[in-house]
């Protein structure tokens, strides 16, 4: 038995199979008012036997079990979630309310479009808003995530080159890129070549020019890049790629720094994905459902996935007549619930509100940077936008590393930032506070980070052994990654296996 606990204190929660006891139930059925069926009439082969090992629990067991589990979770509704590159902002509840409006929540994807005019209009209006925000020509809302959008974007680049005679062989990707970028290019059949980062933390334009041959299908870049730095030479970069007939893919995961301020379409970008679950405040749902709309320039418009939702004489229609389309990339319309939430967010903020999003996100990140860089030196002196990359350079001599800092933050009640990414920064600590954090919360985080740096000097073992207050301490990471225990096995099976 675990020790008695105070109310509200977290403890290790057993699985539901270990709660309750034999014969315990959480329901009571009225007495049978029909004749009991004669099981012997059912052929033996199809009769279901008793299910061994099913949880036998009361209502209170179930409710307490799941409420306790939910309290082991960290969430944006609890506090700062500084996970860099992920834009973990607070999701306004009005989005949720609108997504639950009956006509939107209960629409069936196979309904005749004539009876789903409102839903189709939501998709159309969202597309129009995204076009205005980004300056792109048209969007598909089908992709279910950013990575899915990348794949769709690269397939369109490929379709364009095939149409001009040759798919070309290579996609260029900066060395600071998110791992999904090279993965998407490779899945679409391309060879991936890296472009180095220069001393300012930007793409090395001379190196790009040298690599940019007629065999290169395109460049995938992130702007601001994953170091949080705006690619100042974006026009030169785009020109260098276009001169050789290549196309430019922009990973728009960092659009939170640009909304209402600058538009990728105006920078000459050919194709861009957005993450509605980042910039436009739809929930990040543990891997899904997300939404990764892809916007294209005029050049790539013919290749967009079919069908497209369009307006014709005041009615919303599905345009399936797209001969050059790469085809459908998702069943039905993509994750429609996310479209509703994103449109609610965009409309409730308006153009001025969206601009404030970017400005405050940048202000918050720079506030943290200014307050921490004496203890956690910045990787690049170039000013950063909505996220900031610090390092563990000053802690190393005390034997404390970035991972230890991240674990110790758990003891102070914060979700850790993204760590060891981007790969080009040694011991990277990537912090993205987003615009929704009040100064008090930023200050509490800064205090925790400064306290940890102090502890690294006075009591490094305390930091190295963290976390100390969570139900589970430090895991063996290699073992956890190589041999994850994904399925619960009752004790007796475990003993047998
Ligand atoms: C999150 C992210 C992606 C991938 O998006 P998902 O929606 O998680 O698939 C790609 N690039 C960058 C820079 C990101 O931050």
Looking at residues 350-368, what average pLDDT do you find? Answer: 98
φ and ψ at residue 297, rounded to 5 degrees: -80, 175
Tell me, in angstroms, the distance from the centre of ligand 1 to residue 253's CA.
6
Q: Which pLDDT score, from 0 to 100, does residue 38 have? A: 83
Residue 242 pLDDT class (50, 70, 90 cuts): very high
Using the mean position of ligand 1's atoms as its centre, give its distance from the Cα of residue 432 in Å: 14
Q: Tell me the pLDDT tens digit for each residue of 77-92.
A: 999 999 999 999 999 9
Q: Which of 143, 147, 418 to mutate to test the pocket of ligand 1 (most atoms within 8 A of CB)?
A: 147
Whether the predicted pLDDT of 329 surpasses 50: yes
Candidates 82, 178, 225, 281: which one to mutate for ligand 1, based on the most atoms within 8 Å of Cβ?
Answer: 178
Question: Does the C-beta of 216 come closer than 6 Å to ligand 1?
Answer: no
Least confident of 46-55, 150-159, 184-193, 272-281: 46-55
**What mean pLDDT, rounded, does the chain reach?**
93
Pocket probe for ligand 1: among 182, 251, 430, the residue whose CB has the most ligand atoms within 8 Å is 251
Average pLDDT (372-401) is 96
Residue nearest to atom 8 of ligand 1 (CA): 146
Q: Using pLDDT thresholds of 50, 70 and 90, give the confidence band for residue 365.
A: very high
**Residue range 96-144, pLDDT digits in tens:** 999 999 999 999 999 999 999 999 999 999 999 999 999 999 999 999 9
For residue 493, pLDDT over 80 is answered with no
Q: What is the pLDDT of residues 434-490, one digit of tens each?
A: 999 999 999 999 999 999 999 999 999 999 999 998 888 898 889 988 998 888 776
Q: Which of 284-288, 367-371, 390-394, 424-428 has the lowest mean pLDDT?
A: 284-288
Q: Is 388 left (phi over 0), alpha (psi -120 to 50) or beta?
A: beta
Please state, in angstroms and rounded to a whole number, the distance separating the CA atoms of residues 119 and 109: 10
CA distances from 486 to 480, 482, 483, 489 (A): 10, 12, 9, 10
Strand 170-174 with 191-195, pairing:
parallel
CA-nearest residue for atom 5, ligand 1, is 146
Is the predicted pLDDT of residue 491 greater than 90, yes or no?
A: no
**Any ligand 1 atom below 6 A from CB of 143:** no
Residue among 173, 253, 288, 334 to mutate when testing ligand 1 (max atoms within 8 A of CB): 253
Is the pLDDT at 1 greater than 60, yes or no?
no
| Lowest-confidence pick of 148-157, 316-325, 436-445, 480-489 | 480-489
| Percent of the chain clearing pLDDT 90 (strictly above) | 82
Write down all domains in the chain, each with its CATH number in brackets. 16-70 (no CATH), 93-348 (3.40.640.10), 353-473 (3.90.1150.10)
The pLDDT of residue 435 is: 98
Q: Is 231 in the pocket of ligand 1 (CB under 6 A)?
A: no
**279: CB partners within 8 A, 6+ apart:** 87, 252, 255, 256, 259
> Rounded CA gap, 356 and 362, in Å?
10
Please tell me the distance between residue 441's alpha carbon and the centre of ligand 1 in angstroms: 25
Q: Is 132 exposed, middle or buried (0-12, 13-18, 19+ CB in 10 A)?
A: middle
Which pLDDT band holds residue 492 (cuts at 50, 70, 90)? low
pLDDT at 7: 42
pLDDT digits (tens, 9 = 90+) for 177-231: 999 999 999 999 999 999 999 999 999 999 999 999 999 999 999 999 999 999 9
- The 10s digit of each residue's pLDDT in 52-74 is 778 999 999 999 999 988 888 88
From ligand 1's centre to the CA of 288, what distance in Å? 12
154 CA distance to ligand 1 middle (Å): 15
Give the span between the Cα atoms of 163 and 165, in whole angstroms.
5
CA of 180 from ligand 1 middle (Å) equals 7
Q: Which atom of ligand 1 is closest in space to residue 147's alpha carbon? A: 9
Q: How far is the CA of 64 from the centre of ligand 1 (A)?
A: 35
Distance 494 CA to ligand 1 centre (A): 38
Ligand 1: does its nearest atom lie under 6 Å from the Cβ of 87?
no
Answer whether residue 401 shows pLDDT above 80: yes
Question: How large is the greatest C-alpha to C-alpha distance in the chain, in angstroms?
Answer: 85
What are the Cα distances from residue 29, in Å, to 21, 50, 260? 19, 19, 58
How are strands ordered across the β-sheet holding 191-195? 138-140, 294-296, 271-273, 247-251, 216-222, 170-174, 191-195
pTM for the full predicted model: 0.90
């Amino acid at each position: 038995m675990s020790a008695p606990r105070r109310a509200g204190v977290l403890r290790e929660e057993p699985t539901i199979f270990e709660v309750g006891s034999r014969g315990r139930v959480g329901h009571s059925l009225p007495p049978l008012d029909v004749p009991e069926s004669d099981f012997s009439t059912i052929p033996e082969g199809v009769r279901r036997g008793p299910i061994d090992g099913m949880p036998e629990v009361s209502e209170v067991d179930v409710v307490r079990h799941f409420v306790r589990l939910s309290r082991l979770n960290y969430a944006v509704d609890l506090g700062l979630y500084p996970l860099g590159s992920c834009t973990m902002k607070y999701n306004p509840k009005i989005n949720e309310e609108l997504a639950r409006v009956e006509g939107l929540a209960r629409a069936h994807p196979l309904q005749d479009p004539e009876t789903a005019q409102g839903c189709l209009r939501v998709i159309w209006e969202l597309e129009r808003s995204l076009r205005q925000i980004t300056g792109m020509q048209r969007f598909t809302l089908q992709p279910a995530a950013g990575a899915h959008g990348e794949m769709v974007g690269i397939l369109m680049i490929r379709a364009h080159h095939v149409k001009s005679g040759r798919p070309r062989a290579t996609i260029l990707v900066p060395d600071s890129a998110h791992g999904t970028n090279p993965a998407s290019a490779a899945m679409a059949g391309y060879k991936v070549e890296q472009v180095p980062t220069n001393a300012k933390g930007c793409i090395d334009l001379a190196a790009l020019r040298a690599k940019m041959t007629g065999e290169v299908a395109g460049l995938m870049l992130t702007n601001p890049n994953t170091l949080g730095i705006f690619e100042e030479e974006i026009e030169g970069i785009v020109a260098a790629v276009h001169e050789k007939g290549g196309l430019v893919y922009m990973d728009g995961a960092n659009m939170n720094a640009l909304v209402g301020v600058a538009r990728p379409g105006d920078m000459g970008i050919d194709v861009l994905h957005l993450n509605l679950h980042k910039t436009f405040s739809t929930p990040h749902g543990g891997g899904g459902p997300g939404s990764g709309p892809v916007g294209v320039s005029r050049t790539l418009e013919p290749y967009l996935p079919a069908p497209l939702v369009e307006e014709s004489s005041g009615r919303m229609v599905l345009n399936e007549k797209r001969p050059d389309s790469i085809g459908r990339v998702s069943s039905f319309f993509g994750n429609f619930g996310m479209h509703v939430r994103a449109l609610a967010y965009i409309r409730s903020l308006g153009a001025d509100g969206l601009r404030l999003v970017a400005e405050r996100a940048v202000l918050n990140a720079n506030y943290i940077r200014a307050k921490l860089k004496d203890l956690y030196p910045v990787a690049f002196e170039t000013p950063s936008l909505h996220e900031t990359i610090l390092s563990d350079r000053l802690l190393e001599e005390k034997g404390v590393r970035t991972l230890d800092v991240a674990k110790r933050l758990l003891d102070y009640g914060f979700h850790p930032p993204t760590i060891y990414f981007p790969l080009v920064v040694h011991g990277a600590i990537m912090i993205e506070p987003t615009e929704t954090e009040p100064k008090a919360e930023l200050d509490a985080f800064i205090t925790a980070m400064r306290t940890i740096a102090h502890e690294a000097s006075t009591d490094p073992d305390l930091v190295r052994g963290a976390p100390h207050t969570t139900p589970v301490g430090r895991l063996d990471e290699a073992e956890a990654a190589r041999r994850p225990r994904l399925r619960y096995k009752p004790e007796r099976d475990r003993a047998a296996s």
